[in-house]
Amino acid sequence: MSTATNEGRGMMGVPAEDGTTSAADRALLPSARPVQLIDPAGRHTHDDRYPLPDGERLLGVYGRLVTGRRINDQANALVRQGRMAVYPSSHGQEACQVAAAVVLDEEDWLFPTYRDTVAVITRGVDPLEVLTLLRGDWHGGYDPYEHRVATQATPLATQLLHAVGVAHAAKLRGEPTVVLAMCGDGATSEGDFHEALNFAAVFHVPVVFFIQNNEFAISVPLSSQTVAPSLAHKAIGYGMPGERVDGNDLAALLSVLGSAVDRARDGGGPSLIEAHTYRMQAHTNADDATRYRSADDVEQWVPRDPLLRMRTYLRDLNLLTDDGERTLSDEAERIAAAIRQGLNTEVDVNPAELFEYVYTEKTSQLREQAEQLREELARGADPAADDAGDAPGAGDQATGDRP
Amino acid sequence: MTQTTEAPARATQDRQAGVVPPAPRSTSTFAKALNAALADAMEADSAVLMFGEDVGRLGGVFRITDGLTARFGEERCFDTPLAEAGIMGMAVGMAMNGMKPVVEMQFDAFAYPAFEQVVSHVAKMPNRTRGKVRLPIVIRIPYAGGIGGVEHHCDSSEAYYAHTPGLTVLAPATVRDAYFMLREAIASPDPVVFLEPKKLYWSKEEVDLAELRRTYDDGQAPRRIGRAVVARAGTDATLITYGPSVPTALAAAAAAAEEGRSIEVIDLRSIVPFDDETVCESVRRTGRAVVVAEAPGFASVASEIVARVQERCFHSLAAPVLRVTGFDIPYPSPKLEHFYLPSVDRILDAVDQLQWED
């Protein structure tokens, strides 16, 4: 098995003659500043290593950005209307969401978290299937194999190891699959984050670890997670390159992530990309962000909005016209309407399904329990009526029935 | 251990009948049978991979993976960095992507760092994806005590896994079962926690491993997952046990026989799925039962067995179902473990308490 000890990689901390860090070590270091190709004012800023994607590509991906923003807004509205239990919004992080999905080929895999709904939809998964999780019909709504998108991970950083395993299996079979694994800044404190990076490096597998540093883990700021110079610097400890990128700059994200994906596909091994972005809204609708950050803090990020700068850039080049904008917003609205309509339609949940997938074949115990529930339902029992707190009308009745 | 006692008995009968004695049969240890099962499974299916700590060149601290790297190459049997959550999480991804990983947790208590992966993903992913993602992972865990091991090397951790829906939990107690059950575990589309009683690694039986392979490959080995076995037939009381406690229970039954009591011993083999049928059939017949297990008794697999037997066999019972388990204390140090482990005497004392009428 090819491990990091050959090919001049790994264990290379041999100091250069003058006692300074070797060139090989320095090559793992991230850029001094996050890579930026289009600044918040919409102007191209040159970078020696990362080329600016061409206008047509940027225009195409900008459309996904508009749709992504619309999906976030629509999902928030549906939570307020009681159609979904909760929605962890990626408002403000849409450039990361879209870039993570579009840099991958069909045979690649995406490993998203609960906040990465827009990335999953951008990859091609049916929005209603994605939102099943948050609507509460089931713990997952889509077939991971259909678009090669893993389930949205809730336990932090656990999915990064799965990404390593998928990549490892593909490598053993000689398949060109690249895996892009997403996590947030808070997740970098979890043990699984470190184990995933280390395993990926040791087995030299094609994984791009993509951190969206949105500065908060619910209420805890990044300064309480780490005192490392940057999250991208953590890559060095595992012998892989780290890079940081302006997470609100779609062009830079496409270029940096694209380069990491190419590198992984060409046998260059894993790398770690940190995107600097900001969670513009609360952790979820159940969170109150005013308890831990000021409106002024959030205000500072408004001019850095990922849609704003890309729109300005494309309009200045006349790539985006009034007509073009209307087309994009119509398309976004069409998708939002489909989501609205889908989530406003009641779905019949099937309690018999509870026992179906625990094992490939139901155990005798599960057969008994499924039968018990079936009989309860057949004689008209309604377990939901016992939840006094949830349904005021029916609940009062049920409480009254209790001895 | 029905198999061990049956074979010599048959040989004796053959000799008495004047039949030419068969060629001496080969013997195998429990450890060798596991090793052969792994090798045969890897030979049969290139998707089967073996990885963990020290399982490569060393062949595992108990030598269960001995020779696999040499035979199948470093891509099929390999050492990982020393991180159990990493091993388990990587196994999840490999299983998602067409492989059938067998992972070794070096010791029972060293499996705990992997617990989140086991509980949150290994056990739940198939359900979460409505069966779209199946995880054919075998988690091999050298487990339980009786070997004079130091702390963190002797835990009976079965209850943690048995309490987690989605996991199959197996604990073989004979050489033959070790082979067949590991083959079956590897072939299972569901994740299996495979508990290997350390103190039985060196136990021997007269078995021909090549014959076991042929039997398994020909589909002639009866299913063992979810099937308990009557390890010793009896009529007066039932000892229900599994894994490392099976030989102790059999010894207790042999001792009881000398005192004129006919004790049946049920070897569960499969903790999950649990074979209510075999257990209840026996207890209804004998009317008395004792559950024997090494783990602390409180909130244990033994507790669950007592509850199930009481719920299903109440009207057949002549006495409360008793338990002989470890005490509710951390596993003791080597010089104290014999005070803790279920013993023949303790089992016989429990049997004596089953409200006999004579």
A145-202: pLDDT as tens digits: 999 999 999 999 999 999 999 999 999 999 999 999 999 999 999 999 999 999 999 9
In single-letter form, the type of residue at position B324 comes to V
Interface contact B86-A360, CB threshold 8 A: no
Residue B189 and residue B110 in one domain: yes
For chain B, helix (H) and strand (E) counts, in that order, are 14, 14
Residue B196 and residue B258 in one domain: no
Q: What's the pLDDT at A7?
A: 45
Tell me whether residue A69 is one of the annotated catalytic residues: no
**Is B20 within a domain?**
no
Task: Give the chain B residue whose CA is nearest to the CA of A195.
Answer: B86
Under a CB-based contact definition with an 8 Å cutoff, are residues B153 and B108 in contact? yes
Q: Report the percentage of chain A scoring pLDDT > 70.
A: 90
Number of domains into which chain B is organized: 2
pLDDT higher than 70, residue B276: yes
Task: Give the chain B residue whose CA is nearest to the CA of A202.
Answer: B81
**Is B272 within a domain?**
yes
In single-letter form, the type of residue at position B83 comes to A
Domain boundaries along the sequence of chain A: 23-344, 351-398
Interface contact A164-B130, CB threshold 8 A: no
Interface contact A357-B129, CB threshold 8 A: yes
- Dihedral over Cα of B148, B153, B156, B158: its sign: negative
Q: What's the pLDDT at A192?
A: 98
Long-range Cβ pairs for the range A303-308 (8 Å, 24+):
A303/A40, A304/A40, A304/A248, A304/A278, A305/A92, A305/A248, A306/A65, A306/A92, A306/A93, A306/A94, A306/A95, A306/A247, A306/A248, A306/A249, A306/A250, A306/A277, A307/A62, A307/A65, A307/A66, A307/A69, A307/A94, A308/A40, A308/A42
Alpha carbon A294 to chain centroid, angstroms: 25
Tens of pLDDT, residues A218-250: 999 999 999 999 999 999 999 999 999 999 999
Among the three residues B197, B217, B237, which one is the final residue of a domain in this structure? B217
Q: Which of A206-210, A331-335, A382-386 has the lowest mean pLDDT?
A: A382-386
pTM of the predicted protein model: 0.92
Q: How far apart are CA A43 and CA A308, in angstroms?
A: 12
**Is B19 within a domain?**
no
Nearest in space to B199 (alpha carbons), one of B229, B243, B133: B243
Supply B306's token pair. Answer: 């007592």
Supply B27's token pair. Answer: 């013997």
pLDDT higher than 90, residue B6: no
Among the three residues B166, B190, B217, which one is the final residue of a domain in this structure? B217
Residue A380 backbone zone (phi > 0: left; psi -120 to 50: alpha; other: beta):
left
Which residues of chain B have a CB within 8 Å of the CB of A162?
Answer: 89-90, 92-93, 96, 121
pLDDT tier for residue A395 given thresholds of 50, 70 and 90: very low
Mutate to test the interface with A, among B128, B278, B304 (most CBs of A within 10 A): B128
- Pick B97's closest partner by Cβ from A138, A169, A358: A169
Residue B238 and residue B170 in one domain: no
Which residues of chain A have a CB within 8 Å of the CB of B274?
Answer: 363-365
pLDDT higher than 60, residue B146: yes
Options A64, A168, A283, A311, the catalytic residue: A283
pLDDT higher than 50, residue A140: yes
A4, HSE (Cβ side, Cα atoms, 13 Å): 22
Tell me whether residue A279 is one of the annotated catalytic residues: yes
Mutate to test the interface with B, among A146, A357, A366, A368 (most CBs of B within 10 A): A357
Q: What's the pLDDT at B23?
A: 65
Task: Give the chain B residue whose CA is nearest to the CA of A196.
Answer: B86
Q: What's the pLDDT at B20?
A: 63
A-to-B residue pairs, Cβ atoms closer than 8 angstroms: 142
Which residues of chain A have a CB within 8 Å of the CB of B188?
Answer: 360
The mean per-residue pLDDT over the stretch A77-81 comes to 94
Q: Which residue has tokens 């909005």?
A: A305
In single-letter form, the type of residue at position A330 comes to D
3-state helix, strand, coil in chain B (%, to 5): 45, 20, 40
Interface contact B116-A145, CB threshold 8 A: no
The mean per-residue pLDDT over the stretch A344-365 comes to 95
Residue B49 and residue B93 in one domain: yes
B357, HSE (Cβ side, Cα atoms, 13 Å): 4
Nearest in space to B44 (alpha carbons), one of B100, B105, B103, B104: B100
Tens of pLDDT, residues A257-285: 999 999 999 999 999 999 999 999 989 88
pLDDT higher than 70, residue A217: yes
The per-residue pLDDT of chain B, averaged, comes to 94
- In this structure, what CATH number is given to the domain that contains residue B237? 3.40.50.920
Instruction: Please report which helix (H) or strand (E) contains residue A375, including its range.
Output: helix A364-378
Under a CB-based contact definition with an 8 Å cutoff, are residues A110 and A120 in contact? yes
Tell me whether residue A283 is one of the annotated catalytic residues: yes
**Is B1 within a domain?**
no
A129–chain B nearest CA distance, Å: 11
Residue B195 and residue B244 in one domain: no
Residue B305 and residue B348 in one domain: yes
Q: What's the pLDDT at B358?
A: 67
Residue A399, Cβ neighbours under 10 Å: how many?
12
Q: What's the pLDDT at A285?
A: 84
Residue B309 and residue B179 in one domain: no
Interface contact A162-B190, CB threshold 8 A: no
The four Cα atoms A115, A120, A122, A123 give a dihedral, to 10 degrees, of: 150
A274–chain B nearest CA distance, Å: 22
The mean per-residue pLDDT over the stretch B315-320 comes to 98
Under a CB-based contact definition with an 8 Å cutoff, are residues A212 and A277 in contact? yes
Q: What's the pLDDT at A22?
A: 82
The mean per-residue pLDDT over the stretch A324-350 comes to 95
Q: What 3-state DSSP class applies to B141? A: strand
Alpha carbon B18 to chain centroid, angstroms: 38
pLDDT higher than 70, residue B199: yes
Q: How far apart are CA A81 and CA B258, in angstroms?
A: 75
Q: How far apart are CA A59 and CA A45, in angstroms?
A: 18
Interface contact A139-B88, CB threshold 8 A: no
Q: Which residues contact B221 (CB under 8 A, 6 or more apart)?
A: B180, B183, B184, B212, B215
Report in angstroms the alpha-carbon separations of A375 from A40, A352, A364, A372, A401: 62, 11, 16, 5, 20
pLDDT higher than 80, residue A12: no
Residue B58 and residue B185 in one domain: yes
Alpha carbon B273 to chain centroid, angstroms: 13
**Running DSSP on this structure, what letter comes out for residue A245?**
E
Q: Which residue has tokens 């487990």?
A: B143
Instruction: Please report which helix (H) or strand (E) contains residue A242, including its range.
Output: strand A242-246
Q: Report the percentage of chain B scoring pLDDT > 70.
A: 93
**Is B13 within a domain?**
no
Q: What's the pLDDT at A387?
A: 56
A154–chain B nearest CA distance, Å: 9
Q: Could you give phi then psi for residue B142, rounded to 5 degrees? A: -60, 120
Instruction: Give the total residue count for chain B.
Output: 358
Tens of pLDDT, residues B234-243: 999 999 999 9
Task: Give the chain A residue whose CA is nearest to the CA of B133.
Answer: A144
Q: What are residue A111's DSSP bridge partners?
A: A181
Interface contact A169-B99, CB threshold 8 A: yes
Q: Which residues contact A70 (CB under 8 A, 6 or more apart)?
A: A329, A332, A333, A335, A336
Interface contact A172-B99, CB threshold 8 A: yes
The mean per-residue pLDDT over the stretch B164-188 comes to 98
Strand ranges (DSSP E) for B224-288?
Answer: 229-232, 237-241, 263-267, 270-272
Q: How far apart are CA A266 and CA A259, in angstroms?
A: 10
Q: What's the pLDDT at A286?
A: 85
Q: What's the pLDDT at B19?
A: 60
Q: How far apart are CA A21 and CA B122, in angstroms?
A: 42
Supply B72's token pair. Answer: 């199948």
Interface contact A166-B94, CB threshold 8 A: yes
Q: What is the CA radius of gyration of chain B?
A: 20
Q: What's the pLDDT at A58?
A: 98
The mean per-residue pLDDT over the stretch B311-329 comes to 98
The mean per-residue pLDDT over the stretch B317-341 comes to 98
Q: Could you give phi then psi for residue A337, rounded to 5 degrees? A: -65, -40
Q: How far apart are CA A162 and CA B90, in angstroms?
A: 5
In single-letter form, the type of residue at position A217 comes to A
Nearest in space to B185 (alpha carbons), one of B218, B152, B225: B225
Alpha carbon B332 to chain centroid, angstroms: 22
Which residues of chain A have a CB within 8 Å of the CB of B120?
Answer: 155, 158
Q: How far apart are CA A43 and CA A39, in angstroms?
A: 5
Which residues of chain A have a CB within 8 Å of the CB of B168?
Answer: 359
Residue B167, Cβ neighbours under 10 Å: how many?
25
Under a CB-based contact definition with an 8 Å cutoff, are residues A110 and A121 in contact? no
Q: How far apart are CA B65 and CA B101, in angstroms?
A: 14
In single-letter form, the type of residue at position A44 comes to H
Q: Could you give phi then psi for residue A264, rounded to 5 degrees? A: -65, -40
Tens of pLDDT, residues B89-110: 999 999 999 999 999 999 999 9
Domain that holds residue B104: 26-217
A71–chain B nearest CA distance, Å: 23
Under a CB-based contact definition with an 8 Å cutoff, are residues A336 and A70 in contact? yes
pLDDT higher than 90, residue B323: yes
Residue B122 and residue B171 in one domain: yes
Asked casually if ipTM beats, i.e. exceeds, 0.90, the reply is yes
Q: Which residues of B are catalytic?
A: 153
Interface contact A199-B90, CB threshold 8 A: yes
CATH of A23-344 among 2.40.50.100, 3.40.50.2300, 3.40.50.970, 3.90.1150.10: 3.40.50.970
Residue B233 and residue B331 in one domain: yes
Interface contact A155-B120, CB threshold 8 A: yes
Q: What are residue B292's DSSP bridge partners?
A: B241, B324
**Running DSSP on this structure, what letter comes out for residue A113?**
B
Q: What is the CA radius of gyration of chain A?
A: 24
The per-residue pLDDT of chain A, averaged, comes to 91
- Pick B189's closest partner by Cβ from A139, A158, A360: A360
pLDDT higher than 80, residue B25: no
